[in-house]
Amino acid sequence: MYPFLLVGIGGALGSMSRYGASLVISRMWPTGFPLATLLINIIGSTAMGLLIGLLPRLMPSLQEEARLLVAVGILGGFTTFSAFSLDTIVLIERGELLLAGTYVLLSVVICLIGLYLGLLVTRGVA
């Protein structure tokens, strides 16, 4: 039961954070492009890399609990891959194929780079 509670609390916090960040980003940079989803996925992917790289060093005895709360819960709720998928299909249905392709390419490549950089940063920390 405890693991489900950790994931549930984390997921609620992550989802609320995603919603808040999306509102702020959308107000700062109003556009038809799903910029908020893209930025949230980049931030979440980078944070995941940092977290997974740091957990074994900083919290070895609480590694599993922290992983459930933060990685599965908070970051799982914060990142928006399902929203990414919907945004992509909406762009395709609107006939904006170039924009959809750009969005997919940027999302996948930059998020993977962000996660990898997060891991590199933490692996360089002694």
Whether residue 8 is annotated as binding a ligand: the answer is no
Residues 6+ apart with CB under 8 A from 84: 34, 37, 38, 41, 107
* Both tokens assigned to 40: 């949230």
Residues 6+ apart with CB under 8 A from 37: 22, 80, 83, 84, 87, 107
Whether residue 79 is annotated as binding a ligand: the answer is yes
Residues 6+ apart with CB under 8 A from 95: none
Residue numbers in the known binding site for Na(+) are 76, 79
Residue numbers in the known binding site are 76, 79
